[in-house]
A and B are shown apart, each in its own frame.
Chain A
Amino acid sequence: MSLTIITGEFATEAAFLRAWRALRAAGLNRFETSVPHAVSGLEDELPPTPIARFVLGGAACGGIGAYLLQAWAARDYPLNVSGRPLHSWPAFIPVTFELAVLLATLAGVAGLCWLCGLPRLDSPLRDIPGIERATQDRYFLGVRSDDPRFAAVEVRHRLREAGAEHITEAAP
């Protein structure tokens, strides 16, 4: 059987969330969704986002790298200013901080692209009629047919029960 996605279109965040919870209760979890803003209350039901690790990793690389660079440069090209030590660490803090922030940000944005699969100019929901309103005022929740607990009749029933206004079946 070829892969299809059964998608329900909802008018409100609450209805979307109701459908999400009903489908999760039925043991389904291969969803394709498209919503106009962050859904409040969903974060607690999903595995925690690992994006902070990217940011922390970037900060560590940037900070440690910048400090070592400065400490090494001070030895490689010694500047004796009134006999102060070459390893004058307090003066190295600003650049260390700046580069830690810079690399943390770069790593965070790279992490976002990685986790969201960006850039990707195609969408599995592209053929759903009215999908362009997902970035404006409509909430779409689709279930993939390769979900091990997928049963078309039940999915349709639960989507409708939660308040879906249109239900569409399309190949991704």
Chain B
Amino acid sequence: MNPSCDPLLAPGETLHSVTEKIGDIPLARAPRWWWAGLAAGFGGAMLLAVSVGWLFFRGIGIWGNNIPVAWGFAIVNFVWWIGIGHAGTFISAILLLLHQRWRTSINRFTEAMTLFAVACAGIFPLLHLGRPQYFYWLLPYPDTMGLWPQFRSPLVWDIFAVATYATVSLLFWYVGLLPDLATLRDRARTRGAALAYGLLALGWRGDARHWVHHERLYLLLAGLATPLVVSVHSIVGLDFAVALLPGWHSTVFPPYFVAGAIFSGFAMVLTLVIPLRRLYRLEAYITPRHLELMAKVLLATGWMVAYGYFCEFFSAWRSGDLYERFAAANRATGPYAWCFWLLLAANVLTPQLLWSRLCRASEWALFAIALVVNVGMWLERFVIVVTGLHRDFLPAAWGMFRPTFWDWSTFAGTGGLFLALLFLFLRFLPAISMSEMRTLVVQRESIP
């Protein structure tokens, strides 16, 4: 069957069945695999706690960071996580404004993914400060030293962008969640659950006039989040582009970072959604058509990223600048060349499989491609940060970066934290928006 003709919602779904199927997941007992998943995530989060504890005790020296590669893993991981965090808002906000109704069954889940990815991302720059207890020096407040942040620096813009993005994503998610929390309150089987969901729902009871305010606010927040999502990764791109380093000092960075963020975000959504729909039997709501549409977005953004790679090399050659040309050549032939070629294979070659309808329709193929792209996007940030820094101008100042055990354990630890948060979300909150699914059911019924 041609997946592009598939419906977004399996036939026969009603208001009641939608509410029951999605709403019972948080209220029922947790399946055994859930405990296994949470345990794995929790174990990872403990590894993070140990790594951070040791970091606080010994200092940044436990990482492989050095001069010239002062940014190291911390910034590679920060950019990777924050990029993943972009798909949630892209799906929720931009696709809402574009009337793409297929977003309905995946937006809640991807918004949660965004929040957790941003939480993981936020850890790295704070730890990388070296003295994280002084992070608040980045914020403007009237201090006794008479100092202000350097507002002309993208690193200061960054803290405003990431903090705003985290807050706005959280509120956008919560506003959408309100009616569903009320549903859970009314379906709860125990007094404790009713009380907890009731408090979280703030007393939402679905007055028809309240719905009008709610819908309008949701649309307005989507309108605000759309330029926001573009601004956040543009500013992350400017962190690099404003530096005078060969290979970084380029105007292509902001748009190329935004495309890369959406590319990696969709890859992560596919990685998570494909097992999720199987485990929770949500195939009626997350249909093959959803997977196919996401695969197409992956293919399109993959080409934008490929264009970014091309532009980097083209502008290095066109600039005629000795250092720019060397940085480009060093990327392709230097000591980290294998990362670069692996990244090209992962991010440019692999997504080309998605031209085939067979690949887009196969869950296994999609899952494998998405995993490869996740790795590829991490390598991309590694190539930008590490090969950019390790050989800049004077050969006397060159160096090499080798990640230590604690670099890897901190990175793996944030992965664990991400998984643990995700499993808690799946257990206690509806992974698909019930109120929006109800609207989809009613809209379908009204079409004769």
Residues of chain A having any CB pair with chain B under 8 Å:
13, 20, 31-40, 42-43, 46, 49, 51-52, 55, 59, 69-70, 73-74, 76-77, 79, 81, 88, 91-92, 94-95, 97-99, 101-102, 104-106, 108-109, 111-113, 115-123, 125, 132-137
- Contact status of A94 and B211, CB under 8 A, knowing A76-B146, A132-B187, A137-B19: no
Query: Smallest CB–CB gap between A162 and chain B, Å?
Result: 14
8 A–B contact pairs at CB < 8 A?
A35-B206, A37-B436, A37-B438, A43-B212, A101-B227, A112-B214, A121-B203, A136-B16
Contact at A42–B212, with CB atoms within 8 Å? yes
Query: Smallest CB–CB gap between A98 and chain B, Å?
Result: 4
Write out the residue numbers on chain B whose beta carbons fall within 8 Å of the beta carbon of A120. 202-203
Interface residues of B in 135-161 (CB under 8 A from A): 140, 146-152, 154, 156-157, 160-161
Residue of A70, A99, A106 most packed against chain B (CB within 10 A): A70
SS class of chain A's interface: helix, strand, loop or mixed? helix
Contact at A136–B213, with CB atoms within 8 Å? no
Residue of A nearest to B180 (CB): A135
Write out the residue numbers on chain B whose beta carbons fall within 8 Å of the beta carbon of A40. 439, 442-443, 446
Task: Give the residue of B146, B151, B185, B203 whose beta carbon is less than 8 angstroms from that of A91.
Answer: B151
Provide the bound-state CA to CA distance between A132 and B221, in Å.
29
Residues of chain B having any CB pair with chain A under 8 Å:
14-16, 19, 23, 140, 146-152, 154, 156-157, 160-161, 163-164, 167-168, 171-172, 174-175, 179, 182-183, 185-187, 198-199, 202-217, 220-221, 224-225, 227-228, 231, 235, 435-436, 438-439, 442-443, 446
Write out the residue numbers on chain A whose beta carbons fall within 8 Å of the beta carbon of B205. 34, 123, 125, 134-135
Contact at B16–A137, with CB atoms within 8 Å? yes
Task: Give the residue of A77, A105, A106, A117 whose beta carbon is less than 8 angstroms from that of B148.
Answer: A77
Residue of A32, A94, A104, A123 most packed against chain B (CB within 10 A): A94
Provide the bound-state CA to CA distance between A101 and B446, in Å.
36
Contact at A135–B206, with CB atoms within 8 Å? yes
Provide the bound-state CA to CA distance between A166 and B147, in Å.
68
Query: Smallest CB–CB gap between A57 and chain B, Å?
Result: 12
Provide the bound-state CA to CA distance between A39 and B199, in Å.
25
Write out the residue numbers on chain A whose beta carbons fall within 8 Å of the beta carbon of B14. 137
Task: Give the residue of A108, A113, A117 whose beta carbon is less than 8 angstroms from that of B220.
Answer: A108
Provide the bound-state CA to CA distance between A76 and B143, in Å.
12
Contact at A101–B148, with CB atoms within 8 Å? no
SS class of chain B's interface: helix, strand, loop or mixed? helix
Provide the bound-state CA to CA distance between A28 and B152, in Å.
59
Counting residue pairs across A and B whose Cβ atoms lie within 8 Å, the total is 185
Contact at B151–A105, with CB atoms within 8 Å? no
Task: Give the residue of B185, B217, B231 whose beta carbon is less than 8 angstroms from that of A51.
Answer: B217
Write out the residue numbers on chain A whose beta carbons fall within 8 Å of the beta carbon of B150. 79
Query: Smallest CB–CB gap between A93 and chain B, Å?
Result: 9
Provide the bound-state CA to CA distance between A122 and B185, in Å.
13
Contact at B151–A70, with CB atoms within 8 Å? yes
Contact at B175–A73, with CB atoms within 8 Å? no
Closest 9 CB pairs of A and B: A132-B186, A137-B15, A73-B148, A119-B202, A91-B152, A38-B211, A120-B203, A94-B157, A37-B438
Query: Smallest CB–CB gap between A121 and chain B, Å?
Result: 5
Task: Give the residue of A46, A73, A88 whose beta carbon is less than 8 angstroms from that of B212.
Answer: A46
Query: Smallest CB–CB gap between A170 and chain B, Å?
Result: 15
Write out the residue numbers on chain B whose beta carbons fall within 8 Å of the beta carbon of A76. 146, 148
- Contact status of A133 and B186, CB under 8 A, knowing A94-B231, A112-B213, A121-B198: yes
Provide the bound-state CA to CA distance between A108 and B236, in Å.
27
- Contact status of A94 and B206, CB under 8 A, knowing A109-B175, A136-B183, A137-B16: no
Residue of B nearest to A72 (CB): B148
Write out the residue numbers on chain A whose beta carbons fall within 8 Å of the beta carbon of B221. 105, 108
Contact at A97–B231, with CB atoms within 8 Å? yes
Contact at A77–B146, with CB atoms within 8 Å? yes
Contact at B442–A13, with CB atoms within 8 Å? yes
Provide the bound-state CA to CA distance between A12 and B301, in Å.
42
- Contact status of A135 and B179, CB under 8 A, knowing A33-B209, A55-B220: yes
Contact at A136–B224, with CB atoms within 8 Å? no
Contact at B151–A73, with CB atoms within 8 Å? yes
Write out the residue numbers on chain B whose beta carbons fall within 8 Å of the beta carbon of A113. 202
Residue of A nearest to B179 (CB): A135
Contact at A101–B164, with CB atoms within 8 Å? yes
Provide the bound-state CA to CA distance between A36 and B171, in Å.
21
Write out the residue numbers on chain A whose beta carbons fall within 8 Å of the beta carbon of B156. 95
